[in-house]
Amino acid sequence: MTGSHTHPNTLDVMQLGIALPNGHRLLRDVSLSLRPGEVRALVGESGAGKSMIGKAVLGILPQNLRVTGGEILLEGQHLGAMTPWTRRKTVAQSAALIPQDPLTALNPARRIGPQITDPLVRIHGWSRAKARDTALALLDRVHIRDPKRVMESYPHELSGGMRQRVLIAAAFAPSPRLIVADEPTTALDVTVQKQILRLIRELQQETGTAVLFVTHDMGVVAKISQKVTVLFAGKVMEDAPTERIFTDPAHPYTRALIAATPSYADLDRPFSPVPQTLIAELQGAIARDDARHQGAAR
Amino acid sequence: MTAQTQTRTTASEAVAPAPSLFSVRDLRLSFPDLARKPLLGAAPRNEVLKGLSFDIPAGQITGIVGESGSGKSTAGRVLVRLLEPDSGSVLYEGRDIGHLDESALRPLRRDLQMIFQDPMSSLNPRHKVWRIIAQPMKRYGLGGTRADAIAALGKVGLPAAFAERYPHELSGGQRQRVGIARAIALKPRFILADEIVSGLDVSSQAQVLLLLKQLAREMGLTIAFISHDLSVIRHLCDRVIVLNRGEIVEQGSVDAVFRAPASDVTRTLLTAIPLPELDPDWLS
Amino acid sequence: MADITAAAPRRRARRLNLRLWLPLLWLGAVALAAIFAPLVAPQDPLMQDLMLERLPPAFMDGSEPGYWLGTDSLGRDVLSRMIHGARIALFVSLVAATATCLFGAALGLVAGYFGGWWDRVISRLVDIWMAFPPVLFAVLLVAVIGTGLTSVIAAIALIDWTRFARVIRAETMVQARMDYVDSARIGGARRLTTLISEILPNVLPSIIALLMLEMGIAVIVEAILSFVNLSISSDDPTWGSMIAEGRNAIHFAWWVLLFPLIALFLTVLSFSTLGEGLKQRFDPVLQ
């Protein structure tokens, strides 16, 4: 564990490649980094592979996917070089997930309380009392009115927004260095989405946790992140500070994504689909790339 | 979706209003709350629609907006009579269709079509695309051959090859086009579009919305467009109805409602939308 | 418009599906043997020859040519009796399972889709029916109509229709909530049309899987009833009666018990595996 203090980045993903068993590539040499306290948005349309990056970092990729190359460094430590057991332990101790669907992420048969405290006791070796106090404090922090009662509740007794608050509290409880937020507001109403985004922002700033924020919504990107990685078909199209993405986007695909997002405030700007010609062009470039990749492998 | 919406001024409010296709008065609907059902006796009822009164003007796109639980989908399903109201009147061209039985509704159904939120669930996974489109056409004597289905696919920009596919072989955007093709194949007068783009990528969302707008103009359709996204409503609709907990909190032309929202609910909904532009203060 | 490229849909290359073909191979062999039993069987299944009693199978010392799987305590050829027994086993499973399936699935579909009054009556009937001990039911039935194939088939159908009704009702209720059912209504379909042409195709894989399972169960029930001598007359060869007889001689003529038991086991296993295989085969989504 030494050396992690001196390493400047919380997360480094370098040249990560992931493929199906039949060789079809899902991620193509994806690189990105995350400094402490930074929020990086991973944005793209479905099939762009944005969720897969977070899953690869946390080591929860579906069984049938192969990592074909690249390195993942969590606080400077090479995850690839570890035994599976050490890797799981390292990841569990310094990273956490806020999942997309708050309904299925909680076990419906167990009370909320132990679902938050169990990992704290099991993985972080806290005492039951400390885990419980922390959980209560955090539930209060995420504006849950009666934390004691909620700890005793079952998931179905809470609304979607409440459940997502519980999951945010659970993720922040062990003070992780990295949180992967996988489309955490997609299933929620807009007003609830705003509250949840605000919560993640506040907690993240208080604790200095770095957040990898997976989303398909350029509006959310604009509000929550400092850095953006734009993905198309498993390939990074653009990696830039959020400010630049919205003032002076370099890649035509980034511009197209913004143009496809409707805005009630801006009726002069027609919103239009990503042009077919652009998609064909990008797909063509990727196909040529893949062919070269295969040629090199042979 | 161009800026042309802006040129249509609120003057349309003052000029003779468009005739109403639907005229709904004091619509009430409740569902039994089975979670609180006592062992014996009837379950208590949850009132979902609490006396809605609104008109759907012919030839226009009316947006119905609200959070989940506001009753917007329920209200829509009453218009196409998938649900029967407890009380109140649902006048379609002056005739109350609120309590017609299924056989009396059947001739009307051709005119009152619907596009569903989840095209995966609304397209029968066992049927090929052409059959999904052709079957209702056959019922109403509008043809219903493979060629007719292919023609309908053409109108939504899908090539003939899609006729032989199964729904699971299509992408989300393609499925939603098939849903549109099935609805317009009957040459209806009214289409209920229930959250039809909420499951789609921004890019397919824009395509489907442009398509819907173009078809509405070409076919002179009246559309009720249910959505939680006010940005989409602003670009697509002529009028908007804002619902909250089963009540209408505001309705009017989109220009008027967006320029000066009268209700707190509308204002909250508006400010909650994360616009794709930098705004450091939005989250504070 | 990346959306509308008409690239051919991906289909998984068709591998030889062993879950489908192995059971089909075994069941096909059993069916052929059953149909052509008089031609295939090496001996007369009823012919007793006390000179040849308890002959071991052909691969053991002391066997006789022409008696491949040995003989029982009355000197009857085990293989020939098994082949003729397959006739009864397959006939019962086919007729009983089909009858059970048609009756139970129809009630399940109606209860699941029409709901309300239909559902209440059918569900109560299923509840009451299931509270009756099935073995007692079968024994009573046979006592009333008498032993014989008809009563075996009637017993199976009268006991097991509840399984179909319950499972198909639940499955139908799930399907009935899907938007495509509302969509059919919007498209002007009558309720019966919706049930038959929209819901039934989606429930069919489950019906087929259950039907196969039921065929396996029917084979077992027939064997059990012959075992306790409530099926057809004990002279006629059935797998169950062979097992019952073989039980007495297990220490010195185990083959009399073992071979019909293996046939029974493989047949039942084949039916249930085939059911799952067919369910997958006919599901366009799973493929």
C95-145 confidence digits (pLDDT tens): 999 999 999 999 999 999 999 999 999 999 999 988 888 778 777 877 788
**B35 touching A (Cβ < 8 Å):** no
- Predicted local distance difference test score (pLDDT) of residue A3: 45
Q: Compute the average pLDDT of residues B192-221.
A: 92
CA A46 to chain centre: 15
For residue A201, the surrounding DSSP H or E stretch is helix A190-207
Instruction: Say how far apart CA C14 and CA C240 lie, in whole Å.
Output: 39
For residue A78, the surrounding DSSP H or E stretch is strand A77-78
The share of chain B scoring above pLDDT 70, in percent, equals 94
Among chain B residues, the shortest Cα distance to A221 is held by B276
Q: Compare CB distances from B234 to A190, A267, A273 and report the shortest one's residue.
A: A267
**B114 touching C (Cβ < 8 Å):** yes
Q: Compute the average pLDDT of residues B196-208.
A: 89
Instruction: Say how far apart CA C175 and CA C200 lie, in whole Å.
Output: 9
Per-residue pLDDT of chain A (298 residues; tens, 9 = 90+): 444 456 689 999 999 999 998 888 999 999 999 999 999 999 999 889 999 999 999 999 998 898 999 999 999 999 988 999 999 999 999 999 999 888 888 998 999 999 999 999 988 889 999 999 999 999 999 989 999 999 999 999 998 889 999 999 999 999 999 999 999 988 888 988 999 999 999 999 999 999 999 999 999 999 999 999 999 999 999 999 999 999 999 999 999 999 999 988 877 777 889 998 999 999 999 999 888 877 766 5
Question: Taking 50 as the threshold, does the pLDDT of residue B2 lie above it?
Answer: no
Q: Tell me the CA distances in angstroms from A255 to A244, A266, A274, A279, B107, one per residue in order.
A: 11, 16, 9, 13, 48
Chain A residues in contact with B207 (beta carbon < 8 A): 273
The sign of the dihedral angle between the CA atoms of B166, B167, B170, B173 is: positive
Q: Is there a contact between A246 and B270 if contact means CB atoms under 8 Å apart?
A: no
* Helix, strand, coil % over all residues of chain B, rounded to 5: 40, 25, 35
DSSP state of A45: -
Instruction: Say how far apart CA C42 and CA C49 lie, in whole Å.
Output: 15
Instruction: Say how far apart CA B106 and CA B79 lie, in whole Å.
Output: 14
- Predicted local distance difference test score (pLDDT) of residue C15: 60
Longest dimension (CA), chain A: 62
Question: Taking 60 as the threshold, does the pLDDT of residue B10 lie above it?
Answer: no
Contacts of C10 (CB under 8 A, 6+ apart): B169
- Beta-carbon neighbour count of residue A108 at 10 Å? 9
Sheet arrangement for strand A25-34: A25-34, A11-19, A66-74, A77-78
Mean residue pLDDT of chain C comes to 84
Instruction: Say how far apart CA A50 and CA A100 lie, in whole Å.
Output: 13
Chain A residues in contact with C1 (beta carbon < 8 A): 273, 276
Q: Where are the domains of chain C?
A: 17-36+76-281
Q: Is there a contact between B122 and C188 if contact means CB atoms under 8 Å apart?
A: no
DSSP state of A222: H
Instruction: Say how far apart CA B63 and CA B200 lie, in whole Å.
Output: 19
- Predicted local distance difference test score (pLDDT) of residue B27: 97
How does residue B35 score in pLDDT terms, banded at 50, 70 and 90? confident
**A159 touching B (Cβ < 8 Å):** no
- Predicted local distance difference test score (pLDDT) of residue C46: 79
- Predicted local distance difference test score (pLDDT) of residue A151: 94
What radius of gyration do chain B's Cα atoms show?
20
Instruction: Say how far apart CA A34 and CA C278 lie, in whole Å.
Output: 50
Q: Tell me the CA distances in angstroms from C160 to A10, A232, B107, one per residue in order.
A: 62, 55, 42
Q: Point out which residues pair with A32 in neighbouring strands.
A: A13
Long-range contacts of A239-247 (CB under 8 A, 24+ apart): A239/A31, A239/A32, A242/A41, A242/B278, A243/B278, A245/A221, A246/A222, A246/B276, A246/B277, A246/B278, A247/B278
Q: At what angle do helices B102-109 and C179-186 cross, to 10 degrees?
A: 80
The structural architecture, per CATH, of the domain C17-36+76-281 is Orthogonal Bundle (1.10)
pLDDT tens digits, B59-114: 999 999 999 889 999 999 999 999 999 999 999 999 999 999 999 999 999 999 99
Q: Compute the average pLDDT of residues B250-264.
A: 94
Instruction: Say how far apart CA A247 and CA B277 lie, in whole Å.
Output: 9
Instruction: Say how far apart CA B193 and CA B205 lie, in whole Å.
Output: 13
**C21 touching B (Cβ < 8 Å):** no
Question: Taking 50 as the threshold, does the pLDDT of residue B235 lie above it?
Answer: yes
φ, ψ at C49 (rounded to 5°): -150, 100
Chain C residues in contact with B124 (beta carbon < 8 A): 180, 183-184, 198, 201-202
φ, ψ at B246 (rounded to 5°): 80, 10
Q: Say which residue the tokens 């193509």 belong to.
A: A28
Chain A residues in contact with B5 (beta carbon < 8 A): 267
- Beta-carbon neighbour count of residue C120 at 10 Å? 11
Quote ipTM for the complex.
Answer: 0.85
Query: Hey, of B77, B83, B126, which one would you mutate to test binding to chain C, going by the most C CBs within 10 A of its CB?
Result: B126
pTM of the full structure: 0.85
Q: Which two three-digit tokens encode residue C11?
A: 């289909």
Go through C26-64 and write b for each residue having 16 or more CB atoms within 10 A of its CB, e for each that does not.
bbeebeebbeebeeebebebeeeeeebebbbbeeeeebe
From the list B85, B94, B19, B90, the residue with the least C-alpha distance to B54 is B90
Q: Say which residue the tokens 């998931």 belong to.
A: A155
Q: Say which residue the tokens 């109606």 belong to.
A: C110
Q: Angle at CA C197, nearest 5°, toward C196 and C201? A: 90
**B275 touching C (Cβ < 8 Å):** no
Question: Taking 60 as the threshold, does the pLDDT of residue B4 lie above it?
Answer: no
Cβ(C37)–Cβ(C83) below 8 Å: yes
Instruction: Say how far apart CA A64 and CA A22 lie, in whole Å.
Output: 10
Instruction: Say how far apart CA C74 and CA A175 lie, in whole Å.
Output: 81
pLDDT tens digits, C225-254: 888 777 776 677 888 888 888 888 777 778
C154, amino acid identity: A
Q: At what angle do helices C254-281 and C200-227 cross, to 10 degrees?
A: 170
- Beta-carbon neighbour count of residue A241 at 10 Å? 12
Question: Taking 90 as the threshold, does the pLDDT of residue C39 lie above it?
Answer: no
Q: Point out which residues pair with B239 in neighbouring strands.
A: B62, B253
For residue B194, the surrounding DSSP H or E stretch is strand B190-194
Instruction: Say how far apart CA C84 and CA C104 lie, in whole Å.
Output: 30
Lowest mean pLDDT among A28-42, B168-182, C3-17: C3-17
How does residue C19 score in pLDDT terms, banded at 50, 70 and 90? confident
Q: Angle at CA A138, nearest 5°, toward A134 and A141? A: 145
Longest dimension (CA), chain C: 85
Instruction: Say how far apart CA C170 and CA C155 lie, in whole Å.
Output: 24
Q: Compare CB distances from C188 to B121, B124, B136 and report the shortest one's residue.
A: B136
Which DSSP string corresponds to B42-102?
PPPEEEEEEEEEEEEETTSEEEEE--TTSSHHHHHHHHTTSS--SEEEEEETTEE-TT--H
Instruction: Say how far apart CA C56 and CA C68 lie, in whole Å.
Output: 8
Q: Is there a contact between C180 and B124 if contact means CB atoms under 8 Å apart?
A: yes
How close does chain A come to C10, measured CA to CA in Å? 13
Q: Where are the domains of chain A?
A: 11-103+177-297
The share of chain B scoring above pLDDT 90, in percent, equals 78
How does residue C3 score in pLDDT terms, banded at 50, 70 and 90? very low
What radius of gyration do chain A's Cα atoms show?
20
Q: Is there a contact between A260 and B3 if contact means CB atoms under 8 Å apart?
A: no
The sign of the dihedral angle between the CA atoms of B23, B18, B240, C180 is: positive
**3-class secondary structure per residue, chain C:** CHHHCCCCCCCCCCCCCHHHHHHHHHHHHHHHHHHCHHHHCCCCCCCCCHHHCCCCCCCCCCCCCCCCCCECCCCCEHHHHHHHHHHHHHHHHHHHHHHHHHHHHHHHHHHHHHCHHHHHHHHHHHHHHHCCCHHHHHHHHHHHHCCCHHHHHHHHHHHHHHHHHHHHHHHHHHHHCCHHHHHHHHCCCCHHHHHHHHHHHHHHHHHHHHHHHHHHHHHHHHHHHHHCCCCCCCCCCCHHHHHHHHHHCCCCCHHHHHHHHHHHHHHHHHHHHHHHHHHHHCCCCCC
- Using DSSP, state whether B13 is helix, strand or coil: helix
**3-class secondary structure per residue, C147-159:** CCHHHHHHHHHHH
Q: C 2-31 residues with CB below 8 A of A?
A: 2
Between C96 and C67, residue with greater pLDDT: C96
- Predicted local distance difference test score (pLDDT) of residue B33: 82
**Strand A210-215 relative to strand A39-43, pairing:** parallel
Instruction: Say how far apart CA A37 and CA B206 lie, in whole Å.
Output: 35
B204, amino acid identity: S
Q: What is the CATH number of domain A11-103+177-297?
A: 3.40.50.300
